[in-house]
Structure 1
Amino acid sequence: MDARLQGFTLDDYLRCVDLYERVGVDLTLETVVGIGSVCRRQTTDEAVRIIETLWSMGIRLHGFGFKVTGLREAAHLLYSSDSLAWSLNATKRA
Structure 2
Amino acid sequence: MVELKLQLVAQSILSFLGRPHLGRAVQGYLDILPLLKDLDFLGASICLLASHLKSLERGKINYIAGLDSRGFLFGPSLAQVLGLGCMLILKG
What is the TM-score with the length of structure 1 in the denominator?
Answer: 0.35
- The higher-RCO structure (CA 8 Å, 6+ apart) is 1
Higher strand share: 2
Query: Whose radius of gyration is greater, 1 or 2?
Result: 2
What is the TM-score with the length of structure 2 in the denominator?
Answer: 0.35
